[in-house]
Each structure stands twice: as C-alpha cells, then as structure tokens.
Amino acid sequence: MEITKDILEKDVNIEGAHKATVELKGRKIELRLDPDDVSIEETLSLANRLLNNFELYEKKATDTIVKSFLDNYNENWADDEDGFPQLDEKAFRNNLELKGINLLSKDSIDIFYSENGMFGNHSLIAQSFDGENFDDATMYG
C-alpha cells in the first residue's frame, strides 16, 4: 500500500493538513497527515513506513495501551454487575478496535482505538514521538 499526494484530500478541520482513507484490518480507516514544520513528502514518508509495517507498529501501539490501561481498568472500571468483568491481557486487547491514525510532521504518530465501553467509550491513543516507538498512551473523549 502506498499513499501518494494525488490521493490526499485537504482536511477542512485542520489548516494545512490532509487526509486519506485506507483499508487496514478489513476496515476503512482515516489517516490525517499534518506536515506542521516539514514538507508533505516527509509526512507521507512516515505514513508509508507505518502502513508498510503496520502489524509491527500496531503491536507496539497496543502493547503500550495494554501496559498503560489494563491495570487501571481492572482496578477502577471493571464491574461485574454492569457487565464489565476483570480482564486478562488477551481479553483487553480484543476490546480494542482501530479507529484512526494521525501523523504530525515527520515523526509523530497517534493511533486511535475505541475501547468497547471499558472506559465509558473514550478513545485510547497510542503515541509515538520518534516515528518508531510508542512510549506514551492517553485517553480522550
């Protein structure tokens, strides 16, 4: 899979940003590319590196989300009476659903997941600031 400038659309919500829809894991996913302080070609290079090695990048991203949120879920959010039992790592991962990917500049990646209601239907976001490793995760929404 290769993203090129000619398939990008302007993102009307973010000045200077672009977007493209790709198919990943059998689903259409929106990529948002914001070159920020570099050329769009540099941001496209990051996008294509991610797409061409998506299984590896996604494993790193979901590993970071599991490390950051599994214990929090089991200790603070799990409630058998409301249908949210304690989860092991595999069950927790199975609740993650890829929703979108944002790429900023030449080395920042945010991969967004829905969480099947585990945290009140917030997004869980794995973040890479070097374009390779996902060292941070956050909850949004």
pLDDT value for 69:
98
Confidence of residue 68 (pLDDT cuts 50, 70, 90): very high
CA 108 to the chain's CA centroid: 11
Band of the pLDDT at 91, cuts 50, 70, 90? very high
CA distance 102 to 131: 12
Give the model's pLDDT for residue 106.
Answer: 94
Q: Which two tokens stand for residue 28?
A: 């259409």
- Residue 57 belongs to domain spanning: 5-140
Among the ranges given (4-8, 46-50, 126-130), the one the predictor scored with the smallest mean pLDDT: 4-8
Residue 80, pLDDT score: 86
Q: Is 49 exposed, middle or buried (0-12, 13-18, 19+ CB in 10 A)?
A: middle
Across all residues in the chain, what is the average pLDDT?
94
Most confident of 1-15, 73-87, 119-133: 119-133
Q: How many domains does the chain contain in total? A: 1
